[in-house]
Structure formats: structure tokens, C-alpha cells
């Protein structure tokens, strides 16, 4: 019998890639989102447009016992959206409502296992003040002190999924993603993340020019290529480990190093100008000890390989937009 999967947030960046992967594996896939994917035709067999904050709608799309359910829908964005404070109420209300609805509808359909994508943003701010030595071990989460309401909502929802495991015999799986990047992700408009923003700025900059980078550029992060994120997601859902577990890369770079990497890939002569801007924590890196131990797997691709593919894709997008404007 053909296996079935539900992907909530299928019109988004990671959800779009996940649908492709599940189709390759022969699943019948239903995707749900507020919108169609911006950059590609969906490969889902059934794509339902609707609002997962609406309980009736959620019950109508969870109309069978899917073999696999992935809940990725969230109100989110890059530093420019999460850290200004202006969107806090929406971020918390919208994402928490989605999770409450989806999880309960799955439980009522006697679906046992739901994958939930939490985020490294739930780690305490005080463990991420030293850019060279951030602590993101899974058990460092408490006492909790995320630096954004986005992180607090993730923490609440992680606990919600695990509470359904304890009280209702579910087997939900919780991952903490660390900065996922790759082609077919948001690259302009304010919700884009650092790898996409850098790629856009470099692609648009003229030879001999400069790009602006927020902060002093010494803040550190690691970035995970989307194919490896999807691989880790599927492995975790199908494993016997409930998590929460980091899905991220341990290759930590400063933001200026990331910018320089993109400049080098472009082969342009471009400088970096550090300017004030919304930042987030000083340092963050994935800690992969637990995933290695429990899944016998961890991401292994070098950052530059993923950045090379991503830069080429974003450059293509920038060129396309430019040509459209001219026409």
C-alpha cells in the first residue's frame, strides 16, 4: 500500500524540500499552507490552501491516519522579523495556535507520531554570550531564558508535543533546527536569514563596492544545508528517539567570515561594512553529541558546498528580477 504523509507548512522553504524528498520515496503527500510555494511548483499530490489557526480547517485536512505527519508551519522570519519586538504577539499567538490545533487533531485521529520543528532560538541567552564558546547542548535548555518570544513559543510547543507523549501515549518527535539555508528559500523582503541576505547583497553589489553586515560581524553561527536538514528530520521521525535533539551543523563561523565566503564565491572585489542592526545572541553553534549518539548520524557537508549552490540560485533570482524590471 502507498504510504501517506502530511506536511504542514509545505508552501514554505523546508516544507517544500521535504515534500520533494517524500515524493522521491514514493509517498502520497498532502501539503497544507496559507500560500503556494513562492519559488517552485509543488510536487504534493494534494495541496490545500488554508489557515491552520482554524480548528475546523485543521480537522478537515487531518481526515485520515497519515503514516507520517510533519508540522513545520510557523509564523517566522529572520532577525529583522523576530528581534524587533513588533511582531511578538503575532508570532506567539499564531504559532502556538497552529501547534495546539494540529497536535490535537492528530491525537483525535489516533495518529501516533508527529514531527515538530523547534528551533535553537529556545536556548537560554546567557549560554550564548561568548561568540567562541556557545553552549547549545540539549540539556542546557533549563532554566529557560530564550532571547525572543519566538524562542519561548518554540519551548512551549516542544513541551506540548512531549506532554501528549506522556499523557496520551503518542510518540511525537521534536528537533531543534539550527539556521537552515539553501535554494528556494526567502531571499528578500525582511524575513530572509543571513546566508540568503549575504548572497543577495553580494549578487547585487557592483565590483569595487561594499556590502552592509549587521553588528560588528564577530557574532558566530552555524548553518545547515536544507538537504541535510530534511535527512535528519526523516531519520528522527522514523527513529525510536523522541528528542528534543539538535539538527544543525557544528561548523561555526563569524558573520563576517560568512560574508567573506560569499564574496569569494562571487569572485567580485567587494568590501564589508559593519553597521548597527538587529542581532540576536552573540554566539550559537549546534552540539551534535546527542544526535550522533542516538541516531548514529549527523550532518557532514561543508558550509562552502551549500553556500555555493545557494549563492548561484540567489544570483539567478536577482538577475531574473533585474531583467523583469528592465523589460
3-state secondary structure 33-88: ECCCCCCCCCCCCEEEECCCCCHHHHHHHCCCCCCEEEECCCCCCCHHHHCCCCCH
Please name which of 162, 160, 151 lies closest in space to residue 128, comparing C-alpha atoms.
151
Q: Dihedral (C-alpha) 292, 297, 303, 309: value to the nearest 10 degrees?
A: -160
Query: By the 8 A CB rule, do 157 and 149 touch?
Result: no
Residue length of the chain: 327
Residue 150: active-site member: yes
Span of 51-59, 84-92, 129-137, 204-212 interacting with ligand NAD by CB under 6 A = 51-59
Of all helices (H) and strands (E), which one includes residue 197?
helix 194-204
Shortest approach of ligand NAD to residue 267 CB, angstroms? 27
Nearest to 182 by CA among 39, 79, 32, 33: 39
The least distance separating ligand NAD from the CB of residue 158, rounded to whole angstroms, comes to: 11
Pick one of 4, 15, 81, 211: the residue that binds ligand NAD (CB under 6 A): 15
Asked whether position 47 contacts ligand NAD by CB under 6 A, the answer is: no
Contact status: 237 vs ligand NAD (CB under 6 A): no
Span of 46-54, 81-89, 270-278, 313-321 interacting with ligand NAD by CB under 6 A: 46-54
Distance, in Å, from the CA atom of 305 to the CA atom of 311, rounded to the nearest integer, reads: 10
Q: Does 12 bind ligand NAD (CB under 6 A)?
A: yes
Closest CA to 19 of 206, 226, 290: 226
Only one of the segments 32-40, 195-203, 288-296, 316-324 lies at the binding site for ligand NAD (rule: CB under 6 A); that segment is: 32-40
* Binding status of residue 155 toward ligand NAD by CB under 6 A: no
CA atoms within 13 A on the CB side of 149: 18
List the catalytic residue out of 116, 150, 164, 225.
Answer: 150
- Residues 86-145 binding ligand NAD (CB under 6 A) are 94, 98, 117, 119
CB of 231 to ligand NAD, least distance (A): 15
Q: Is 56 in the site for ligand NAD (CB under 6 A)?
A: no
Give the range of 71-79, 82-90, 122-130, 163-171 binding ligand NAD by CB under 6 A: 71-79
Closest chain position to ligand NAD (CB): 12
> Mind telling me the catalytic residues?
150
Binding site for ligand NAD (CB under 6 A): 9, 11-15, 33-35, 51-53, 72-76, 94, 98, 117, 119, 177, 179-180, 193
Amino acid at each position: 500500500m502507498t504510504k501517506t504523509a502530511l506536511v504542514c507548512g509545505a508552501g514554505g522553504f523546508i516544507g517544500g524540500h521535504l515534500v520533494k524528498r517524500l515524493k522521491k520515496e514514493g509517498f502520497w503527500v498532502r501539503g497544507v499552507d496559507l500560500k503556494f510555494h513562492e519559488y517552485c511548483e509543488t510536487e504534493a499530490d494534494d495541496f490545500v490552501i488554508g489557515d491552520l489557526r482554524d480548528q475546523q480547517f485543521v480537522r478537515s485536512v487531518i481526515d485520515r491516519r497519515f503514516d507520517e505527519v510533519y508540522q513545520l508551519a510557523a509564523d517566522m522570519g529572520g532577525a529583522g522579523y523576530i528581534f524587533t519586538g513588533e511582531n511578538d504577539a503575532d508570532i506567539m499567538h499564531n504559532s502556538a495556535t497552529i501547534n495546539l490545533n494540529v497536535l490535537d487533531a492528530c491525537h483525535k485521529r489516533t495518529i501516533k507520531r508527529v514531527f515538530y520543528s523547534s528551533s535553537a532560538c529556545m536556548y537560554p541567552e546567557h549560554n550564548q554570550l561568548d561568540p567562541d564558546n556557545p553552549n547549545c547542548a540539549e540539556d542546557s535548555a533549563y532554566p529557560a531564558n530564550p532571547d525572543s518570544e519566538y524562542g519561548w513559543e518554540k519551548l512551549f510547543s516542544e513541551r506540548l508535543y512531549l506532554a501528549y507523549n506522556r499523557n496520551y501515549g503518542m510518540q511525537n518527535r521534536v528537533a531543534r533546527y539550527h539556521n537552515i539555508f539553501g535554494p528556494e528559500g526567502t531571499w528578500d523582503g525582511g524575513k530572509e536569514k543571513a546566508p540568503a541576505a549575504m548572497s543577495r547583497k553580494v549578487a547585487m553589489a557592483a565590483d569595487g563596492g561594499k556590502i552592509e553586515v549587521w553588528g560588528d560581524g564577530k557574532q558566530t553561527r552555524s548553518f545547515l544545508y536544507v538537504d541535510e536538514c530534511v535527512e535528519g528530520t526523516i531519520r528522527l521521525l522514523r527513529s525510536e528517539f523522541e528528542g528534543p535533539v539538535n539538527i544543525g551543523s557544528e561548523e561555526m563561523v563569524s558573520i563576517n567570515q560568512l560574508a567573506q565566503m560569499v564574496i569569494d564565491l562571487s569572485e567580485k572585489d567587494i568590501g564589508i561594512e559593519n553597521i548597527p542592526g538587529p542581532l540576536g545572541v552573540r554566539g550559537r553553534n549546534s552540539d551534535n553529541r546527542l544526535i550522533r549518539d542516538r541516531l548514529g548520524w549527523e550532518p557532514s557537508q561543508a558550509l562552502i558546498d551549500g553556500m555555493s549552490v545557494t549563492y548561484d540560485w540567489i544570483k539567478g533570482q536577482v538577475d531574473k528580477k533585474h531583467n523583469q524590471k528592465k523589460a
